[in-house]
Structure 1
Amino acid sequence: MKTITDYDKLIPEGIVFSIRQIHKMGLISESMCKKLIFNKSIEVLKIGSKNYITRQTLIEYLEANTIPAIND
């Protein structure tokens, strides 16, 4: 079943986002992002000591983990 949420429109333009930026968007908490990275459940871009998640990876993760509502 395909979700109807258009994350491409919801997530601001940008190439990469820090964990803090994703948290401030209200998408995923900082602790959950860190768990996903630690468990290698989400692809991460490491620049120096900082972890970043690309916009495309974030959209793919959210789409894969969205449970659509049942419409009667």
Structure 2
Amino acid sequence: MICLIILTSDGVVEAVNHDHVLFGFDRLETAVQTGPTTTVFEMLTHILTQVSNFVGDAEPHDDLTIVVVQI
């Protein structure tokens, strides 16, 4: 098992869907907890997929920045 540090911009937790519901910290925490810990790329892809699936085709309001570092 590897140890990961995950940093995100506020645009991740503030991403909204068509109903104007925020992705939020709880969904981000769930995405991290359920994500793969095999490589940084897989974790990054998992988080981006979770946010993208939640937002759907709603218009983005901010940037989405995610940094995953293995230590």
Greater relative contact order, per chain length (Cα 8 Å cut-off, separation 6+): 2
Would the TM-score normalized by the shorter structure come out above 0.5? no
Instruction: Give TM-score, length-normalised by structure 2.
Output: 0.34
Instruction: Give TM-score, length-normalised by structure 1.
Output: 0.34
Larger radius of gyration: 1
